[in-house]
Amino acid sequence: MKTLTRRQRHIFDFLRTHYDRFPTPPTLDELCAALGMASRGSLHKHISALIEAGLVEPSGGHKQTGIRLTRHDKAVTDQDLPFIGKIAAGKPIEALENIHYMAVPDMLKSDKPCYVLQVQGDSMVEAGIFDGDWAIIEQRSYADNGEIVVALIEHYEATLKYIEQTPDKVLLIPANAGFATMAYRPEQIEIQGVLIGQMRSYRTLLSK
């Protein structure tokens, strides 16, 4: 499946969540208003990418008549969350953004948008987070000190760590005595979400 940008995923998730609120397939103008987007041209490009990915389709054969979800997407249940790749619990690695879906129990989610990342590395083992675990992340751009966050470093590398923030410094703290705390300036770090749950396959652990 085509890799989606963060903005395209946001539009797609909005359609999945709110599609039933529209009495007819929403037009680009209606979606612009609902999403609070000023540029119809920008939305047109994002919708074209979703059509190319096979997630939505034009109603009546062209976008002007409305956008509807495809049958492929309608098979996705309310328990499914987007799984967007691997996140480092160790040396930072790039978080992948190949969109798939995973079934996640309601008790592990919140009422805010969430997504799933698979942990790679062992720098968080003392917090009970192991290589191969699936981390359920509540998508938000802020966190309290002491929370475990997905931190994007220098707009490129993502990692899963405890966070401590002051006006002039951000510390990303591992939960493994063999790893060092990483210090950054606030402008170097973008919080992409906070850990709220995790899942584990013991078959994966036993096979290592």
Active site positions, annotated: 123, 161
Q: Residue 164 pairs with which residues in a beta bridge? A: 171
Would you tell me how many other CB atoms lie within 10 Å of the CB of residue 57?
20
Task: Name the nearest CA neighbour of 89 among 140, 145, 151.
Answer: 151
**DSSP tally for the chain: helices H, then strands E:** 5, 11
The C-alpha torsion from 43 through 44 and 47 to 51, rounded to 10°, is -170
Instruction: Collect all residues with Cβ–Cβ distance below 8 Å to 166 and sequence separation of at least 6.
Output: none
Q: How far apart, in whole angstroms, are the C-alpha atoms of residue 174 and residue 162? A: 6
